[in-house]
């Protein structure tokens, strides 16, 4: 039976994505995502202080390296950019929940989410799992609260859980990008992370948008493999998937309100199509109403400000 329950948004439900780039210098605004920046390491604490002041309790970090390679080893080298950012944030803001994206696409020269061996055009599965484990470990060592594998490599949650446990990181959680669709809405993110594939697309490892059953299978698999939080991504065009997952599974459910969804709202507001605040609150409420416990959104900072004004 449908309950007549009112859905509300709290700042505690929000996770803010942060792009951290290697090196020092200026904060670069991402042209396709007005208001979102790539922060150099030396600016990340200042930005985070503002977030914490607004009551935001969690961030999801994306490292943007200067060097890329075929195997993406910059992702797990000693003192990689994401690990450095984690160390810094956990030292200054111990109560902040720091989550990190674990995927190779920003680190590989070909832009795919896994390792592609010379002469091949498909992802080498075992080598990719090893690389993802090393990446996750480097973040855990730096103090990450959650690692979030998003490469859609089969068994990635299980492999990372085992690697974390074997190295004494039993308390590091895993947020699986469980139901990650091969979506057109990731365009602006690929600008931000400089991670567009040089050839082909991600349809071999991300889900096709006409299918809902495989999303449920992926979520069930991630839970079995040890995910503490599961995710549906994107959010707005997938509210039915969120609802179904919320009905079926008890694990905390996150929904990723992705870069393209953000860009639409921002550009529409600029054109005078709608009031930004009203449309954002409507969208985020709909994602929560569908059943998400957590919403990862580039609007988090604005929402936190608006909630304070109330
Ligand atoms: C990495 C990753 C992607 C996003 C988050 N992690 C992009 C992709 O699959 O190409 C997209 C997030 C967004 O669009 O905001 N695999």
Q: How many structural domains does the chain have?
A: 1
Helix (H) or strand (E) holding 232: strand 229-233
Sign of the torsion formed by the C-alpha atoms of 23, 29, 32 and 34: positive
Contact 16, 294 (CB under 8 A): no
The answer to whether residue 25 is domain-embedded is yes
Please tell me the distance between residue 189's alpha carbon and the centre of ligand 1 in angstroms.
6
The protein residue whose alpha carbon is closest to atom 6 in ligand 1 is 150
Please tell me the distance between residue 308's alpha carbon and the centre of ligand 1 in angstroms.
30
Q: What is the pLDDT of residue 193?
A: 83
Q: What is the pLDDT of residue 192?
A: 82
Q: Which residues contact 166 (CB under 8 A, 6 or more apart)?
A: none
Q: What is the pLDDT of residue 2?
A: 57
- Estimate to the nearest angstrom the gap between the alpha carbon of 144 and the chain centroid: 14
Question: Given pLDDT bands bounded at 50, 70 and 90, which one contains residue 119?
Answer: confident
pTM listed for this prediction: 0.96
Please tell me the distance between residue 85's alpha carbon and the centre of ligand 1 in angstroms.
19
Does ligand 1 have an atom closer than 6 angstroms to the CB of 258? Answer: yes
pLDDT at 1 over 60: no
Give the domain extent around 229.
Answer: 11-309
The answer to whether residue 22 is domain-embedded is yes
CATH code where residue 66 lies: 3.20.20.70
The answer to whether residue 294 is domain-embedded is yes
Contact 253, 292 (CB under 8 A): yes
The answer to whether residue 1 is domain-embedded is no
- pLDDT tens-digit readout, 245-276: 999 999 999 999 999 999 999 999 999 999 99
The answer to whether residue 234 is domain-embedded is yes
Pocket residue to mutate for ligand 1, from 60, 63, 105, most atoms within 8 A of Cβ: 105
The answer to whether residue 5 is domain-embedded is no
Gap between the Cα atoms of 271 and 229, Å rounded: 37
pLDDT at 164 over 80: yes
The answer to whether residue 188 is domain-embedded is yes
Catalytic residues: 180, 233
Q: Residue 15 pairs with which residues in a beta bridge? A: 296
The percentage of residues in the chain with a pLDDT greater than 90, rounded to a whole number, is 87
Does ligand 1 have an atom closer than 6 angstroms to the CB of 142? Answer: no
The answer to whether residue 3 is domain-embedded is no
H helices present in the chain, as ranges: 44-53, 81-92, 125-142, 156-166, 187-193, 213-225, 239-248, 259-270, 276-290, 300-309
pLDDT at 4 over 80: no
Does ligand 1 have an atom closer than 6 angstroms to the CB of 113? Answer: yes
Give ∠ CA 178-220-125 in degrees, rounded to 5: 55
């Amino acid at each position: 039976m449908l309950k007549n329950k009112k859905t509300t948004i709290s700042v505690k439900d929000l996770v803010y994505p942060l792009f951290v780039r290697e090196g020092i210098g200026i904060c670069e605004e991402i042209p396709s995502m007005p208001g979102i920046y790539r922060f150099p390491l030396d600016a990340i604490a200042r930005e985070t202080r503002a977030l914490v002041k607004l009551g935001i309790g969690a961030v999801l970090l994306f490292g943007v390296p200067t060097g890329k390679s075929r195997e993406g080893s910059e992702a797990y080298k000693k003192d990689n950019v994401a690990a450095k950012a984690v160390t810094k944030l956990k030292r200054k803001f111990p109560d902040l929940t720091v989550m990190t994206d674990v995927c190779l696409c920003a680190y590989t020269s070909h832009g795919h989410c896994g390792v592609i061996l010379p002469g091949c055009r498909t992802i080498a599965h075992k080598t990719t799992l090893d690389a993802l484990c090393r990446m996750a470990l480097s973040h855990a060592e730096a103090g990450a609260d959650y690692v979030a594998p998003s490469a859609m490599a089969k068994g990635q949650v299980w492999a990372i859980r085992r690697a974390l446990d074997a190295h004494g990181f039993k308390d590091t959680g895993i947020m699986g990008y469980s139901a990650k669709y091969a979506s057109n809405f990731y365009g602006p993110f690929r600008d931000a992370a400089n991670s567009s594939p040089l050839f082909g697309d991600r349809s071999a490892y991300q889900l096709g948008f006409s299918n809902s059953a495989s999303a449920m299978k992926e979520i069930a698999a991630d839970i079995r493999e040890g995910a503490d939080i599961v995710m549906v991504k994107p959010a707005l065009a997938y509210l039915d998937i969120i609802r179904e997952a919320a009905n079926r599974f008890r694990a905390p459910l996150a929904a990723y309100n992705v870069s393209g969804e953000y860009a639409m709202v921002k550009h529409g507001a600029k054109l005078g199509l709608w009031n930004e605040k009203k449309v954002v609150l409507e969208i985020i409420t709909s994602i929560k109403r569908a059943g998400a416990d957590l919403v990862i959104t580039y609007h988090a900072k604005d929402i936190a400000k608006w909630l304070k004004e109330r």
